Structure 1
Amino acid sequence: MKKLYSLLLLLAVAWPGAFAQQKVDGIDAKTQGLTKQQGYFNTFWDEKTGRLLLEINKLNQEFLYVESLPSGVGSNDLGLDRGQLGDTKVVKFIKSGHKVFLIQPNQDYRAVSNNADERRSVEEAFAQSIIWGFKAEAIDGDRVLIDMTPFLMRDSHGLGTSLTRSGQGAYRADETRSAIYLPNTKSFPLNTEMEATITLAGSPAGREIGSVTPDAAFVTVRMHHSFIQLPDNQYKPRVFDPRSGFFSTDYMDFATPIDQPIVKRFINRHRLEKKDPKAAVSEAVEPIVYYVDRGAPEPVRSALIEGASWWNQAFEAAGYKNAFQVKVLPDDADPMDIRYNMIQWVHRSTRGWSYGSSVTDPRTGEIIKGQVSLGSLRDRQDFLIAEGLVQPYEDGKPVSDKMLKLAIARLRQLAAHEVGHTLGLYHNYVASTNKRASVMDYPPPTVTLKADGTIDLSDAYTAEIGSWDKRAIIYGYTDFAAGTDEAKALKNILTETLKQGEVFIADADSRPAGSAHPKAHLWDSGVDAADELNRLMVLRKRVISTFSEKSIHENAPMATIEEVLVPMYLIHRYQVEAASKVLGGLYYTYAVKNDGQTITRMVPAAQQWKAFDALIGTITPDALALPETLIAKIPPRPVGYPRTRELFKSRTGLTFDPIGAAESAASTTLSFMLQPQRAARLVEYQSRDNTQPGLIAVLDKLIAQTWKAPQAVGYKGELQRMVNNLTLKQLLTLAATTQAPENVRSIALLKIDELKKWMYNASLTAGAMNKANLLYGLSQIKQFENDPDKFQPAKSLDMPDGSPIGMGDELECGVGR
């Protein structure tokens, strides 16, 4: 025993580190010979090991953390674009012994109070998140050195999860194929930027990932990380109002007195202050400056600058002089640098959405950086629309410049729209019915017919900011002089906005197929949805009746006529959706108590029946038929020009299928008319007001104008029978779906039973083709009756891809998805 004790004593003298905590080297010694960048956080690059070290001199101090995707995957369907931002997080480094944690406090639940105990009680009540754990490489007092490499070399943007969710395969970050990307790893006084090249290795399973990668087993992108100093406390949050049109930052404040709302809501906006708040018009202390991607070619770049600059009109209305500016990004600037509000020109393999997103302080709603991503194929889709409308390619004649003018006009509007999101604004989908009052709506091109029957594109898109946009910016950005009662002043602004007839209706009330607001919709136009649909059908008839090979370039394969025909044949597709909302529609606003707005009002019956007639007008044989001379000019696709999702689906193999094209259009109209929530409202509203149309009357009239209408012959007869089958299919679907309440399903069953009896009697005297149609309908009803719960009607042909309008954001814009 004594010998063992002596041995241990000798060991303790010889190797004191074996019985005491090993001393950690100082930072200077640890970083000697490494490449240093000084800034918000100092970084050290170790060329020999490929490691990036970070010096923490701000323990327990909160800052902003944003991860982003400076180089993307290149597919709209996968939604992993160059410039895409992740969430903005408030984080801080904390040290525990030789461990360092990057922790995210819970900003959703707070106690805004001077009482530390009250604040702590809330902090301890809700979970926080440790984003990452580090081992201290060196410690000097309150300064700690950590290795950022593992943190940066991970799949921080969640590409693997996204690819798996979209059915593209299973992927994980491969460290052997990943490394720090030094050109975009920089440190500035207020922000430190770090970037890594990340390769995700996996087993590809989907078509999309294979179409945009050289080797789908290895997907290499870059992921960026920004550590940003928190803004100072001089920013004053502005209260959110549902009528204002702004996005909001919300949280629960447990220090709130019991007689006040516990949820605090503030609008998202940039910091902007007048040099002289007392002046009616003043320059800004620091203007808002946006920078356009140098990779955008001309004339695109100039269009983006001009369109984005429209917002200065709105800031002028709010009392500022030259407070909103747009410039070209300097040569040496990094687009992902937090100091630059960016308008990026983003390439993808297919057309897709554009977005306006922001880095926003989660504590206050202050926008730190705006990030706009504009899809580069959008202008080509608008050019395609114009080719179909103008048909400019005549032998021996110069090609019109109308297509380019329309495409550039749309880009100006699109730049303004997406920048609007980064200023804090929602979509406003009711603006199109009020003289195009907002660039925050989704606009179709305004196309008219001249007296001589030619197409007029001169007013296709607006060329300035809208009246609603000005009112929104006045609410969000007015800098009130000291002593102003801000709550009263903001209320007065909204009162004046309503007085001017400006109304705001956003995405949740506009996008769903079963939504009810008759004026809130995407890609629609005109004060009255039904009138505008009728107008478009007249224009469409004119365009289709004269459609020819003049719509395609010299030496283009004749089969490519179909590419230009698609947006012409479906030019009414979004107005159909708008008109369908009039059926069972409800006018409403985001009214607040005593603001004088109409809260709710059912759409009058006469207006609903007008919309019904307009919708039926889109599925008649005359509306659906194509000229025989045109059909004969569209051969099967030649070698090198395969069919794509931008073309009509076909039931006739390789040949162009005019009945299939009509089926996709007609099925869309009918599915909107008999949408389950719409049907439920028709029943409910008539029960409350017997002047309302009601579902029974709507179904009776629909059946009368399809199955029971005089039957056409030939090609138009086939179109009519196709519409008959679609009508029955939608009726059976309505009776079977659990999305519809029982009262709707019972009415559908009643009408199916009545139609069955009529069809049987009609089949006794019908000619061969009509009898075949009737017997097929009876067989479908019998199949449904045998097992309604398992009834699955044959799927109708889908329309070619639509939104984002090209053939016709969400999701554009994404917001601004």
Structure 2
Amino acid sequence: MKTNSQFFLGFLILTFLSLYAPSGFSKEVTYSGFIDFSYATETGKVQLKIDQLDKEFLYVNSLVSGVGSNDIGLDRGQLGHNRVVKFQRAGNKILLIQPNYDYRAVSDNPEEAKSVREAFAQSVLWGFKIEKEENGAFWVDATDFFIRDVHNVTGTLKNAKQGNYKLDGSRSAIYKEGTKSFPKNSEFEVILTFTGSPEGSWVRSVVPSPEAITVRQRHSFIELPDNDFELRPFDPRSGFFSISYQDYATPIDQPLTKRLPVRHRLKKKDPAASVSEAIEPLVYYLDRGAPEPIRSALMEGASWWNQAFEAAGYKNAFRVELLPEDADLLDVRYNVIQWVHRSTRGWSYGASVIDPRTGEIIKGHISLGSLRVRQDYLIAQGLLSPSEDGVHPTEEMKAMALARLRQLAAHEVGHTLGIAHNFAASVNNRASVMDYPHPLIELSENGSIDISNAYATGIGEWDKQVIKWGYSDFPEGSDKPTALEKIIQESLQKELRYLSDRDARPYGSAAANAHLWDNGQNAAQELQRLIKVREVALQKINPNSLSDGSPMATFEDILVPVYLMHRYQAEATAKVIGGIHYTYAVKGDGQEAVSFVTPHEQKQALDALLKTLTPQFLSVPNQVLNNIPPMPMGYSKTREHFGSHTGLTFDPIAAAESSVNHCLSLLLNGQRATRLIQHHAMDKTQPSLLDITNTLLDATIKMDDNNSNPDSYQSEIQRMVNERTLHYLLGLAANSSASSQAKAIALYQIENLENWLKNKKSKAPEWQAHNLLLAEKIKRFKLNPDAFADHQVEKIPDGSPIGMHCGF
């Protein structure tokens, strides 16, 4: 029988729960901040308190913990979409609505703005049932909204062909430790488990039980900035990223599309002063998970940007600090440099949280792959192979790897300042950290490899000009358009070139001065120089490069980047052939918009490329051939090794074949072939496709084989080169991206080659057999052009990122 005191105690408990636990009898934790909410520990439910309807804010999703595979592309700290949203009541629901800022009417006429809003669809992202209304505020259960795959993990896995997965609600929950609220942002973290049948090797390699993949995702509600951010019209010559929208209030004599550069908010305390401190400086915080000496290298490299802000008239406006111990990497209040681990080396990223209305950067978020430094160390290890005494120049190797990390940190920070790639900076003596730098490998006076100047130090001249244009704070009453144009003209007068991503790709792009991973003002001359450096490195490389106790088979790891040292400079050189010089010229700025590359430069380029097809260049030295056995138990070949036609053994012909395929795929590219035809038609001094293919065939298939040792190693390489040359010529004849005349020229050369082979008199049976193969290949092509590729192409081992790559 209960006593009166027991009844009274029960009454007090019930009263307390009814007052402080709106979700029933479960224990609750309440959070106050940008959006107030409660979390019920017994039910795992989150209730939002919505007390401001129709007020816009930023909604960002992100991936807190990743899968750990570069190929899958689901990394720790990966940012997702930025959306401007607002809560709106509709009967017994609260709708989360995303307005359409791609189409606007920037007008004082509200009806004009309304007409555009109603012309284009908006998106309702979620509907919340109102659980309780209290003092003008609405409480809604947001648990299902948060426990969902907003980051599209399932879609990413499917697109990567790793399996069909679905979210398992029974193994997913609110992650309380990552759920918090701050004055300007509220963070909601969930632990999500995706179940399915794994289909790919990538997911199996990184997930302990690949039928169940568990990650954490974050939903961030962020206060939008005020309206005081200064809008600046985008200039395609500036070097900045941009956002764009259609403004239907634009007068008919002006462009409908408006573009704004992506920038941080930065203002001087005294805009009239030539040098002034910033009202609020830009501070970047480094992940405490980065170890030494990497930590110091990253902080130093990222800090280089202060040099550019000083050149723009700021004092101490940019600095880098270690992330406070209690800080959250995904907290919008912190610009962060994050150290990310994956199972394989891969990309680094400079991403940002951006206000889609104005282009203002609210948060810079950088992800640096931790294995990249090891790749640079590996390159140095191969270049500085020790002599027979086995003494490793370890400090020099570390110095090169850390120098690359400094440049990488600066590069990725540059993206989060709003700056795009500049892939033409290498022709201006490494004028920008926003280029992709190949290590500058030199030969000293005594003929030894020198990597002391592998990577540039400090911010580049181009980078300073970009920061000036994007962040200069002009005094009141200044003619800002004129001042900004003056900065652009300064860059032009200094002949600082700027071309970005699309212009630099080795296939499709015609830009002769924009390349990935190149050096030098003249691509062909640099390739010729690099060929000499490579020859020295290959003659020097030996098993003493390996650490004690390493399997001899892993000598191939060191060989690959040295043997393929030329691959990116070959890409740059190939772009000169059929290439053009062009700029992002605007009317009236005095720049030459387009011009052909000179015939002399194109001949230089072809001569340099043909050197990479010679047996002398492609041969692997004996001290290498005699020291790479098959992989031992517990080790296996990866995509960063050469393929093989000989089973488990190291295949030097296949290694050479991968390099040859790379060169010929560049040289006989369908779009390049078409440009050669068109340029020659417009200017007879320009080399024609017929000229290029004649020179190629004379240097390969039509070389006199009767003066060579028919069963030698180099003759075997030559026969492989010949077969590959025909293979790619046949490919050009069937290439859908090539013009009809380009295909016609290829067919013409094939017909001539067939007749030449009929009359070819080779003495050695090895060469007779080879010529018979070529003739048979042509015959089969004529019977069925679509099936001419009867030989599997030996893929070149993975290279990029040689030390870095990034995305925005």
Does structure 1 retain, via aligned residues, the 8 Å contact 2:385–2:540? no
Counterpart Cα distance in 2 of 1:410 and 1:499? 30
Partner of 1:813: 806
User: CA separation of 1:439/1:176 partners in 2, compared to 1, >3 Å: closer, same or farther?
Assistant: same
Does structure 1 retain, via aligned residues, the 8 Å contact 2:506–2:515? no
Q: Choose 510-519 or 241-250, whichever is displaced more.
A: 510-519
Counterpart Cα distance in 1 of 2:194 and 2:100? 31
**TM-score, normalised relative to structure 2:** 0.96
Equivalence map 1:32-181=2 (5 Å): 34-181=28-175
| Aligned counterpart for 1:803 among listed residues 784, 800, 803 | 800
Residues 1:459 and 2:453 are matched in the alignment: yes
Partner of 1:253: 247
Equivalence map 1:324-343=2 (5 Å): 324-343=318-337
Q: Choose 743-752 or 551-560, whichever is displaced more.
A: 551-560
| Aligned counterpart for 2:357 among listed residues 360, 363, 376 | 363
Does structure 1 retain, via aligned residues, the 8 Å contact 2:506–2:575? no
Report the residue type matching 2:754 in the other structure.
K
Secondary structure at 2:133's aligned position in 1? Answer: strand
Counterpart Cα distance in 2 of 1:609 and 1:727? 19
Q: CA shift at 1:394, angstroms?
A: 5.3
Q: Choose 198-207 or 576-585, whichever is displaced more.
A: 198-207
Counterpart Cα distance in 2 of 1:87 and 1:238? 24
User: CA separation of 1:443/1:31 partners in 2, compared to 1, >3 Å: closer, same or farther?
Assistant: farther
Partner of 1:476: 470
Counterpart Cα distance in 1 of 2:461 and 2:554? 41
Residues 1:747 and 2:748 are matched in the alignment: no
Report the residue type matching 2:358 in the other structure.
T
Secondary structure at 1:86's aligned position in 2? Answer: strand
Residues 1:778 and 2:775 are matched in the alignment: yes
Residues 1:756 and 2:754 are matched in the alignment: yes
Q: CA shift at 1:790, angstroms?
A: 4.1
Question: How big is each residue's C-alpha offset from its partner over 1:48-87, in whole Å with a ceiling of 9 and x where there is no partner?
Answer: 1111111111111100010000110000000110011011
Partner of 1:203: 197
Equivalence map 1:564-643=2 (5 Å): 564-643=558-637
Secondary structure at 1:416's aligned position in 2? Answer: helix
Secondary structure at 2:512's aligned position in 1? Answer: coil
Does structure 2 retain, via aligned residues, the 8 Å contact 1:254–1:262? yes
Q: CA shift at 1:549, angstroms?
A: 0.8
Counterpart Cα distance in 2 of 1:791 and 1:560? 36
Partner of 1:265: 259
Unaligned runs of 5+ in 2: 1-17
Does structure 2 retain, via aligned residues, the 8 Å contact 1:55–1:146? yes
Q: CA shift at 1:779, angstroms?
A: 0.4
Q: Choose 492-501 or 274-283, whichever is displaced more.
A: 492-501
Partner of 2:723: 725
Q: CA shift at 1:791, angstroms?
A: 3.1
Does structure 1 retain, via aligned residues, the 8 Å contact 2:390–2:544? no
Report the residue type matching 2:764 in the other structure.
G
User: CA separation of 1:144/1:28 partners in 2, compared to 1, >3 Å: closer, same or farther?
Assistant: farther
Unaligned runs of 5+ in 1: 1-24
Counterpart Cα distance in 2 of 1:691 and 1:89? 54
Q: CA shift at 1:765, angstroms?
A: 4.0
Secondary structure at 2:150's aligned position in 1? Answer: coil
Q: CA shift at 1:563, angstroms?
A: 0.6
Counterpart Cα distance in 1 of 2:600 and 2:136? 75
Residues 1:354 and 2:348 are matched in the alignment: yes
Q: CA shift at 1:515, angstroms?
A: 1.1
Question: How big is each residue's C-alpha offset from its partner over 1:734-753, in whole Å with a ceiling of 9 and x where there is no partner?
Answer: 00121111000000000000
Does structure 1 retain, via aligned residues, the 8 Å contact 2:21–2:28? no
Counterpart Cα distance in 1 of 2:247 and 2:390? 72
Partner of 1:527: 521
Counterpart Cα distance in 1 of 2:759 and 2:553? 45
Q: Choose 345-354 or 54-63, whichever is displaced more.
A: 54-63
Equivalence map 1:180-199=2 (5 Å): 180-199=174-193
Q: CA shift at 1:630, angstroms?
A: 2.0
Partner of 2:784: 787
Residues 1:388 and 2:386 are matched in the alignment: no
Counterpart Cα distance in 1 of 2:516 and 2:225? 36
Partner of 1:21: none
Report the residue type matching 2:164 in the other structure.
A
Partner of 2:279: 285
Question: How big is each residue's C-alpha offset from its partner over 1:421-448, in whole Å with a ceiling of 9 and x where there is no partner?
Answer: 0000110000011100000000011110
Partner of 2:3: none
Q: Choose 372-381 or 27-36, whichever is displaced more.
A: 27-36
Report the residue type matching 2:727 in the other structure.
K
**TM-score, normalised relative to structure 1:** 0.95
Report the residue type matching 1:794 in the other structure.
H
Question: How big is each residue's C-alpha offset from its partner over 1:377-419, in whole Å with a ceiling of 9 and x where there is no partner?
Answer: 0000000000001114754646431110011000000000000
Does structure 2 retain, via aligned residues, the 8 Å contact 1:27–1:144? no
Secondary structure at 2:362's aligned position in 1? Answer: strand
Secondary structure at 1:269's aligned position in 2? Answer: coil
Does structure 1 retain, via aligned residues, the 8 Å contact 2:266–2:471? yes
| Aligned counterpart for 2:227 among listed residues 233, 236, 239 | 233
User: CA separation of 1:200/1:288 partners in 2, compared to 1, >3 Å: closer, same or farther?
Assistant: same
Question: How big is each residue's C-alpha offset from its partner over 1:653-710, in whole Å with a ceiling of 9 and x where there is no partner?
Answer: 0000000000000111011000000000000000000000110010101000101113
Partner of 1:702: 696
Does structure 1 retain, via aligned residues, the 8 Å contact 2:392–2:545? no
Does structure 2 retain, via aligned residues, the 8 Å contact 1:27–1:145? no
Q: CA shift at 1:792, angstroms?
A: 3.0
Partner of 1:16: none
Does structure 2 retain, via aligned residues, the 8 Å contact 1:281–1:320? yes
Q: CA shift at 1:43, angstroms?
A: 1.3
Residues 1:441 and 2:439 are matched in the alignment: no
Report the residue type matching 2:784 in the other structure.
D
Counterpart Cα distance in 2 of 1:84 and 1:601? 41
Does structure 2 retain, via aligned residues, the 8 Å contact 1:38–1:187? yes
| Aligned counterpart for 1:500 among listed residues 490, 494, 500 | 494
Counterpart Cα distance in 2 of 1:143 and 1:253? 35
Counterpart Cα distance in 2 of 1:655 and 1:392? 25
Secondary structure at 1:120's aligned position in 2? Answer: helix
Question: How big is each residue's C-alpha offset from its partner over 1:104-150, in whole Å with a ceiling of 9 and x where there is no partner?
Answer: 00110001112111111111100111111111111125311111210
Partner of 1:7: none
Report the residue type matching 2:676 in the other structure.
L
Identical positions, percent: 54
Total equivalences in the alignment: 786
Counterpart Cα distance in 2 of 1:393 and 1:99? 76
Counterpart Cα distance in 2 of 1:791 and 1:123? 55
Secondary structure at 2:394's aligned position in 1? Answer: coil
Counterpart Cα distance in 1 of 2:60 and 2:565? 41
Partner of 2:270: 276
Secondary structure at 1:703's aligned position in 2? Answer: helix
Secondary structure at 2:38's aligned position in 1? Answer: strand
| Aligned counterpart for 2:638 among listed residues 622, 641, 644 | 644
Partner of 1:243: 237
